[in-house]
Structures are given as C-alpha cells and as structure tokens.
Amino acid sequence: MSQAGAETNVEAGLSGAAAINEPTVGDFLQLMKPRVMSLVVLTAMTGIVAAPGNIHPLLGAIAILCIAVGAGASGALNMWYDADIDAKMQRTAARPIPRGRVTADEALTFGVFLSFASVLMLGLLVNWLAGALLAFTIGFYIFVYTMWLKRRTPQNIVIGGAAGAFPPMVGWAAAGGGISIESVLMFLIIFVWTPPHFWALALYRSRDYERVGVPMLPVVAGPEETRRQILIYSVILVPLAVAPYFIGLGGLAYLVTSVILGAGFLYYAVRCRSITEGREGDTAAKQLFGFSILYLFALFGVLLAEHTVWRLLA
C-alpha cells in the first residue's frame, strides 16, 4: 500500500469510518502475518532437524505446518484485539481490519478456529508435549503479551518476546527431543534478540506508539535510554548466539557465522547508540532493525543447513 493510502487509513481509523468490503482469501492470509510466519517456520524447522532421534519426514512436515498455522492464528487474534490501535498507526493501518476488508468478528473466529485446529492436530498426530507447548505459545502471545503487557509496560516486548522464541522448542519437542539445554538455548537466543530488534523499530516509530498510548521504551524512557538498553541486550546476545557451538548444537560454519554476524550486530548497535540526532539517528535505528532480521535468519539458516548435511552424511 502506498504512503498516501496508509495515511488515508490512519485518518479513517481515527474517525472510525472504514467501510467493510467482502474479504478475499488473501485478506485472511494477511491476518496470519506471513512475514512473521516465515521466521517461525525457519526456527521450528531448525528445532525439528537439530533434535536427536528420527521423526518421519511426513510427521515433521505436519509439525511445521501446525506450528506455522498456530503462529498465524496468534497473528489473527492479535490483529483482532489491537484493531483499534492498528487503525491509528502508520505501520499497521493497512492491515485487513483497519482497511475494512475483514471484520473484527471474522478475525476472531478465524484465529480461534486455527488455534484449536493447529494444537489438536499437533497433539494428535505428532505428540502432546509439542501440542501443549504450541498451546502455551499461542496463549502467551494473546493473553500475556497482547492483552496484558502491550498497553501497560515498556517491558512488553521483553517478556512478550518469549512467545516468538518458543517455535524452535516446539519443533524440538515435536521431533521427540523433549525439553533440553539445546532447545532452551535456541529459545534464549530469540528471547534476547527480540528487545533490540523491536526497540530499534520503536525508535523510528515512536510517534506512532505515543499517539495510541502504547508504552514502548522510547515513549516512556526516551530514545537515549532505549539506545543504551539496545546496546546492553546486544552485548548479551552476541556471545549467547555463539554458545550453540560449544554445546555441540552448532558446527564450525555456525561458529564462523555467529562470530562474524555478531560483530556486525554490535557494530550496528554501537552506531545506533552513538548517532542519536535527526534523520541519521533514524537511519541508524533502521539499519539495526534490518540487520537484526538478517542476523536471526542467518543463524538459524546455518544451523538448519549444518544439521541437514550431518543427517545426510550419517
């Protein structure tokens, strides 16, 4: 959607006057936040392939499908609950509900159905530990993050980020690995990655959050403190992301990737900390945000590739 279109939606959202059109299949797919789903699929797949034991490929594919659908259901329920603020924020004004393509009730029904379907399918066809973890993930994202924390505390995405960190643990459990140090480490990497990732975004979108009263860290504590927190979390994240090599979860390729990209992450975090003013400050935050996505995709992509090769050679 064009900038002008998004602005029109912001205005329409402010006046609460979006017209409802007949939704297409694509509108429902958009409710599932496909970009978030792609990261969930990658991390869940890594959990499944890296786990000890041999899950049948069909059951592995079903597990990935269920986890992806569960993540999509969370996205739909999040859009249902946050429809009022989404309509007033530039970044989210083009979502299906604010645009008037899907009603809030349709999104709620869609999200609830997919939540139950994904959890039941994963439990019945793969195993119930994975099903229970997926149910917990969806519940945590909706009840703890979306409904409880998001509008109340600047720590919203620190605690709420756990929801996005669970998929590799669900995948690991689906493959029969239970809960182990390796899966917890994958969880921790995403958990610690989430605050600098979202705060970098919040830095250059802070006016959006301020307008709708969401207490993101830049709004409540200011950009200076946010930049400091980003650097602190980045300093914790980088060595944590190297740790899989030392417990045998990652190989040499992972070690090299995590060290090189870790240096890049720190570089962008330091830049974000030191360039604070004007357009350059926003650009530094945007660069960190963009690099953080590449960083996590690369870490889990290399981990997945390594374990796939090891399995093929075994």
Q: Which residues bind another protein (CB under 8 A)?
A: 16, 18-25, 28, 56, 58-59, 62, 65, 80-84, 87, 97, 100, 103-105, 117, 121, 125, 146-147, 151
Instruction: Please provide residue 255's backbone torsions phi and psi, each rounded to the nearest 5 degrees.
Output: -60, -50
Q: Is the dihedral of CA 278, 282, 287, 288 positive or negative?
A: positive
Q: Least separation, in Å, of the C-beta of 87 and another protein?
A: 7
Which tokens hold the place of 295? 């960083």
Q: Least separation, in Å, of the C-beta of 207 and another protein?
A: 20
Which tokens hold the place of 86? 């989404």
Nearer to another protein, 14 or 263 (CB): 14
Nearer to another protein, 188 or 212 (CB): 212
221 three-state secondary structure? coil
Q: Least separation, in Å, of the C-beta of 45 and another protein?
A: 17
Nearer to another protein, 106 or 182 (CB): 106
Nearer to another protein, 79 or 169 (CB): 79
Nearer to another protein, 66 or 237 (CB): 66
Q: Which of 188, 178, 83 is nearest to 127 (CA)?
A: 178
Q: Is the dihedral of CA 300, 165, 72, 128 positive or negative?
A: positive
The residues, any chain, with a CB within 8 Å of residue 3's CB and separated by 6 or more, are none
The residues, any chain, with a CB within 8 Å of residue 35's CB and separated by 6 or more, are none
Q: Report how far residue 75's alpha carbon sits from residue 95's, in angstroms, rounded to the nearest whole number.
A: 11
Nearer to another protein, 48 or 230 (CB): 48
Which tokens hold the place of 130? 């994975």
Nearer to another protein, 84 or 224 (CB): 84
Nearer to another protein, 151 or 211 (CB): 151
Q: Least separation, in Å, of the C-beta of 98 and another protein?
A: 8
Q: Report how far residue 297's alpha carbon sits from residue 16's, in angstroms, rounded to the nearest whole number.
A: 38
Q: Least separation, in Å, of the C-beta of 161 and another protein?
A: 20
Q: Least separation, in Å, of the C-beta of 65 and another protein?
A: 8
Tokens 């946050």 found at: 82
Q: Least separation, in Å, of the C-beta of 126 and another protein?
A: 8
Tokens 């429809």 found at: 83
Q: Which of 198, 170, 185 is nearest to 70 (CA)?
A: 170
Nearer to another protein, 85 or 186 (CB): 85
What is the crossing angle of helices 34-50 and 167-174, to 10°?
A: 40
Which tokens hold the place of 34? 């496909």
Q: Least separation, in Å, of the C-beta of 12 and another protein?
A: 12
Q: Least separation, in Å, of the C-beta of 260 and another protein?
A: 40
Q: Report how far residue 148's alpha carbon sits from residue 177's, in angstroms, rounded to the nearest whole number.
A: 32
Q: Yes or no: say if 13 and 87 are a contact pair by the CB < 8 Å rule.
A: yes
